[in-house]
Structure 1
Amino acid sequence: MSEATTAKPEKIRCDACPVLCYIAEGRSGACDRYANHDGNLVRLDPLTIIENAIDKGVKAVPFLRDTDGNDWDGDLVQGKRPFITAVGAGTTYPDYKPAPFIVSQDVDGVDMVTVVTEGIFSYCGVKVKIDTDRFLGHERAIVRVDGEPIGHVMTSEYGSKMLSLGGVEHLTGGSKKEGRITCDALLRLCNREAVEMTIDEGATVVVQAGKAPIVNGVEEQLMRVGCGSATIGMFASDWAQHVDEVVVVDDHITGVLSEHQAGKLLNVPPSGIRVNGRRSTPGRYFQVADPGTGWGGTNIEDPLSILREPDPEVAWQGLRLLMVSTTGEQYAYFELDETLKPVATEMPEDLRASVLAIAENCEPSICSVLFMGGAGGSLRAGVTKRPVGLTNSVKDSLTHVTCGGADAYVWPGGGITVMADVLNMPTNSFGYVPTPALVAPIEFTMRLADYAALGGHMDHVRTLAEAMPREVRRVEPIDPDGDPTARSNYRWKADRPA
């Protein structure tokens, strides 16, 4: 056997990230994104193009004017033209390289250019909104996956709990295991997969974008209609006809109908029903119980436990008392006996209808995952030789930023800090590199003249036809005029083959 036939093919070195893998023929690198194919470094996932042939005649707010003074509506994704995303495009690393695709197109007579790249985000994380009243954990409590800290609980919002996960300190500032698990959890969350996490001195919760949270093994159903006080205000007129007193149990603000201003305006007389907790304004009580997974996000299972003895000078035998949670999922009806003790009684049907109205006015409990990252040197250098020029162009609304075709919110202040809903992005938009860091798509769209003015890589500008590789994945948004009650109408259709 000759030496030529026994020699192994040489490995090639991938420079798509700082890991600098040596990749053998037919194998992929550590990130599973790049491979050695016949001695050439190739991107494994196809470039993703958004196509939409639907013209609804709806114009966005004017974004900028062309040189003739005509408005361009800033409509990047919803127009008839295909929109090239950075999903599958490749990266600019090391920083001096131009972006993989710098594509020019004519949009209503305006020469536009879109610069796309898959950015390596060491400074990134996700903000998670979980629609539930259940207690998940105290503010600042550590969130863990497989025992490793990956983030913390943020301030609660109206009917929702918030988590801040990831960030450079977890990715690179802790142990190697912490960084690896954090990166893996972020990747799965951003790619719409389910992740189970535990919160110190709190709950175990399964989070998946667009799905209901699972808290301690129980799938949540409804987001509360409002706090206890707001619930009183919304349904007071229904209750005043059928009951003498209503207590809406809520971890934050428990409402009492007869004391509440809504009850006063409806001439509901004082009942003598007294609630534990710290009284705020009339009919509103704080800290009636500890947080938990029971009634209204409290730790109680027996609603009577939040009541003191009724006032014997005011309460009366036969007083009708309704106690209900802010989602209507827990409720109980009582009547006071001759000793003024609440006795559980079958609820009248007309009162039951008013309780069901609470649940009917609740939204479904959903998890929302927003990717957040800082677009630093490698991203900007791939667009222009003058990085601050790109930053200023974004701030001046001359450059529009998207992530996988989805509109990104750009935070005010210095730098380009973006935030985007992962459900508005094509499937599998995110990757990783084992530095560890996430790889996320980002696109910058502007007028060709503005691109030249900010020092763009003009010698790398190509038309879409010239830039289009052989393997392309095409996706399209859901018809915006479809069934408005189906959340999936605002998400991506299943990917269709090229």
Structure 2
Amino acid sequence: MTDALAVKDKDAELVRCDACPVLCRIRPGKTGACDRYANVAGVLTRVDPLVVTEQAAVQGRNVVPFLAGSEAWDGQLMAPQPAFVTGIGAGTTYPDYKPAPFIVASEHQGIDMVTVVTEGIFSYCGLKVKIDTDRYLGPEQAAVRVNGEAIGHVTTMEYGSQMLSLGGVHHLTGGSKKEGTTTCDAMLKLANKQAVTVTIDGGSEVVIQAGKAPIVNGTPEQRMRVGCGSATIGIFAKQWHGHVDEVIVVDDHITGVLSEHQAGRFLDMPLAGIRVRGRKSTPGRYFQVAEPGLGWGGTNVSDPLDIIEKIDAATAWPGMRLLMVSTTGEHSAWYVLDDQLKPQPAEMPAPITKVVERIAENCEPSLCTVLFMAGAGGSLRAGVTENPVRLTISVKDRLTRVTSGGAPVFVWPGGGITYMVDVLAMPDNSFGYVPTPALVAPIEFTMTREDYAALGGHMDHVVRLEDVLRETRLTRLGPNSLTPGAA
């Protein structure tokens, strides 16, 4: 028979966590579902350390971590600070009405400042991923999947980079429970600079990791294009001049033909009479010469001669020298036309080899870039002021500076506080999660004490920086060299 009193005493030892809507009941010595809060001797306790970035002396000079500035402060909210309390490990304002966990007062160059520090619970958040590659990843609007679950989609391709949009409230909450948890897990890993393998409908398998080269269908990418085919012609036309009669730069987007191109016309090059497939845009610039793929210049071409539609016998001549090259220099071939005006492979001359190598040299290393994007809504703003719209106005008026884990952010124009931050600029493991599902991200608002009072801030909760630095669960970090202004 169960001892009812024993059961009651056991339940009395439980702690109810109110840091998110899940409301975990945590037993002594255990953590909640997010692993961020624990029952420590009957007290709800944030278990991760509170992260503080500090100035450091490097080769006899001061370095300001995460915040740019100069010794002579010009009044901007980017002044050097001996220590900056980040939102990492701070705790949340949930259920919205509570003031931020840390509202920190400090003095800089004789100016009283306040930094409001919190961790935001973001259901409305996503990742914008830039993948530097000419490889075909998949059609625009195609679903991006992890373990079969859609977590985002392919968006518009930009110059030398493929773009993915991942996460968002519809994937987190609008689909099945499995879709939401898979999306949350993938976003958490990517935001914390870990690798995630995704598959794209109708396209490729890609391993994505912030700051690392993408791996497309098992092959690590090395470099992003120097430019489109037309731009490559323009950049290197003068260096080819006199060593070649025609250059065709194979590209999925804009294939360039030197003798027709304006650069070739300026160099008084005679037309070579080689017509490539595709739709002619302007002289020397062709669209749609082949389908997208993993071959030359992001096309599905493995033999570059396949894109040649015809060679005009009235214009071309035997012995004509032809270079075909991709926009990264990864693929190149040298041909000489025979008596029947058919391109025959030949050994590439040294001056041409040098320019092909220079194309490769001018291609920057391929990397994956992960930007976290979120809307700082009611709970965040209410943690700063009882009249949240005043904080929004203050941010728009640039009286309040927004950072995330100490890293600078871009705040989008328009309504609300919608911001983006490069995860590489943030300390490692800056992000957490709650199983609602949603991501947890640090955010800080810095302003003068006078401005904080004017926007109706929680002045009775302001604490001194010195008191915060006495916290026992404190991690002190030096500068992050990847953060702008931290060098």
TM range (shorter): over 0.9
Q: Distance in 1 between matches of 2:428 and 2:45?
A: 21
Residue 209 of structure 1 contacts residue 367 of structure 1 at CA under 8 Å; is this kept in 2? yes
Residue 428 of structure 1 aligns with which residue? 429
Q: Output the CA distance in 1 between the equivalents of 2:467 and 2:93.
A: 19
- Aligned partner of 2:85 in structure 1 is 84
Is this contact kept in 2: 1:295–1:303, CA < 8 A? yes
Which residue number in structure 1 is paired with residue 184 of structure 2?
183
Match of residue 477 from structure 1: 479
3-state secondary structure, aligned to 1:274 = strand
Alpha-carbon distance, 1:53 to partner? 2.9
Q: Secondary structure at the match of 1:401?
A: strand
Residues 383/490 of structure 1: CA separation in 2 closer, same or farther (3 Å cut): closer
Deviation, structure 1 residue 277: 0.4
1:128 aligns to what?
129
Is the aligned partner of 1:36 residue 2:33?
Answer: no
Q: Where does residue 17 of structure 2 map in the other structure?
A: 14
Q: Which residue of 1 aligns with 2:77?
A: 74
In the alignment, what sits opposite 1:416? 417
Alpha-carbon distance, 1:350 to partner? 1.6
Identity of aligned residues (%): 66
Unmatched 5+ stretches in structure 1: 63-69, 480-487, 494-498
Give the letter for the 2:277 counterpart.
Answer: N
How far is 1:274 from its partner? 1.1
Alpha-carbon distance in 2 for matches of 1:242, 1:330? 19
TM-score, normalised relative to structure 2: 0.94
Size of the alignment, in residue pairs? 475
Structure 2: how far apart are the matches of 1:452 and 1:489?
A: 30
Would you say the 8 A contact 2:68–2:486 is kept in 1?
Answer: no
CA distance in 2, matches of 1:414, 1:52: 35
Counterpart contact for 2:151–2:166, Cα < 8 Å: yes
The match for 2:142 is: 141
Give the letter for the 1:39 counterpart: G
Q: Which amino acid counterpart does residue 270 of structure 1 have in structure 2?
A: L
Report SS of the residue matched to 1:20. Answer: coil
User: Unpaired runs of 5+ in structure 2?
Assistant: none
Give the equivalent residue in structure 1 for 2:199.
198
Partner SS for 2:319: coil
Cα displacement string for residues 330-350 of structure 1 (whole angstroms, at most 9, x for unaligned residues): 000111111111111111112
Please state whether the residue corresponding to 2:187 is helix, strand or coil. helix
Secondary structure in 1 matching 2:56: coil
Q: Which residue of 1 aligns with 2:382?
A: 381
The offset of 1:73, in angstroms, is 2.8
- Given that 2:425 and 2:483 are in contact with CA atoms closer than 8 Å, whether structure 1 keeps it comes out as no
Structure 1 contact 60–74 (Cα < 8 Å) conserved: no
Give me the whole-angstrom Cα distance separating, in 2, the residues matched to 1:210 and 1:478.
14
Distance, in Å, in 1 between the alignment partners of 2:115 and 2:101 is 11
Pairwise CA distance, 1:387:
0.5
Indicate if the aligned counterparts of 1:426 and 1:492 stay in contact, CA closer than 8 A: no
CA contact (8 A) 2:426 2:480 kept: no
Residues in 2 aligned to 1:409 and 1:3: alpha-carbon distance in whole angstroms? 57
Task: Check if 1:94 corresponds to 2:91.
Answer: no
- How far apart are the structure 2 equivalents of 1:81 and 1:321? 62
Which residue identity lines up with residue 477 of structure 1 in the other structure? P
State the alpha-carbon separation in 2 of the partners of residues 489 and 448 from structure 1: 26
RMSD between superposed Cα atoms in Å: 2.0
Q: Residue 22 of structure 2 aligns to a residue in which SS?
A: coil
Q: Per-residue CA shift, 1:340-367, capped at 9, x if unaligned? A: 1111111111210110000001100000
Greater relative contact order (Cα < 8 A, sep 6+): 2
TM-fit CA distance, 1:238: 1.0
Corresponding position of 2:26 = 23
- Mapped to 1, the partners of 2:4 and 2:21 lie a distance apart of 35
Taking the aligned partners of 1:3 and 1:309, their CA distance within structure 2 comes to 92
The verdict on how the C-alpha distance between 1:259 and 1:56 changes in structure 2, with shifts beyond 3 A counting, is farther
CA-to-partner distance for each residue in 1:272-327, whole Å, 9 max, x for gaps?
11100000000000000000111000011000000022100011111110000000
TM-score under structure 1 length normalisation: 0.92
Contact 1:292–1:299 (8 Å) recurs in 2: yes
Q: Indicate the residue corresponding to 1:314 in structure 2.
A: 315
Q: Give 1:467 deviation, angstroms.
A: 2.3
> Letter of the aligned partner of 2:456 in structure 1?
G
| Aligned-pair CA distance for 1:80 | 4.1
Structure 2 residue aligned with 1:496: none
Q: Does 1:213 align with 2:210?
A: no
- The reply to whether residue 288 of structure 1 matches residue 289 of structure 2 is yes
Shift of 1:491: 10
Compared CA separation, residues 163 and 229, structure 1 to 2 (3 A): same
SS state of the match for residue 438, structure 1?
A: strand
